[in-house]
Amino acid sequence: MRLDDEHSERQLLAGRLNMLFRDRRAHAYTRHLMETEARMSREAWVRSTDASDLVRGEVMSLRTTVLGQMTEIRELHAADRRRQIVISELLRADHRRST
């Protein structure tokens, strides 16, 4: 009976050893997946940051353009008002001469 106990003990130890090797492979695969996910996450973060910086630059450029156009529009409105005043004065003067 002692031999059977030793044989059973060896089988149990062999089974545990096999399980440890399988677990080792599974853990290595899990580690690989986690490292891959972490790397991809870092790369996505960098791309996102780059895209955000690019968009921020574009927005600043568009704001500058819009501000310049608003200034130009105000200047054009002022020039138009001055022309309208000149035209009105010329029409009044012409009307006075003709009456």
Give DSSP secondary structure letters for 61-91: HHHHHHHHHHHHHHHHHHHHHHHHHHHHHHH
Whole-structure pTM value: 0.53
pLDDT digits (tens, 9 = 90+) for 43-71: 999 999 999 999 999 999 999 999 999 99
**Res. 5 pLDDT band, cuts 50 70 90:** confident
Q: What is the dihedral of CA 66, 69, 70, 74, to 10 degrees?
A: 180
Smallest CA-to-CA distance from 70 within 80, 60, 62 is with 62
